[in-house]
Amino acid sequence: MLHILWSIIVGFFAGLVARAVYPGANSMGLLMTTLLGVAGSIVGGLLARLIWKHEPGQKFHLGGFVLSVVGAILVLFVFKRLL
């Protein structure tokens, strides 16, 4: 249960950073920002596991957060292109 809560919190901050970095108007509410960040965290987390090895017992991986933001930017890009 704590893992899900942590994913939502990290996803929210990744979504906020992605919205701040991505150019143009991003009129999203709190829920959409959180969903954007969680989707970006999933994409970025998969990329992070391919690039860096996760040490056993490590609680936080900076590369995972950075790629979560990159993943959220990619998801936002695709979202803007589809709509």
Assessment of whether the complete model's pTM goes beyond 0.85: no
Q: Identify which of 44, 49, 83 has the alpha carbon closest to the alpha carbon of residue 67.
A: 44
Instruction: Please state, rounded to an integer, the average pLDDT across all residues of the chain.
Output: 82
- What confidence score (pLDDT) does residue 54 get? 67
- What confidence score (pLDDT) does residue 62 get? 67
What are the residue boundaries of the structural domains of the chain, listed by start? 2-82
Check residue 53 and report its DSSP letter. P
In this predicted structure, the answer to whether residue 24 has a pLDDT above a threshold of 70 is yes
The burial class, CB within 10 Å (0-12 / 13-18 / 19+), for 32 is middle
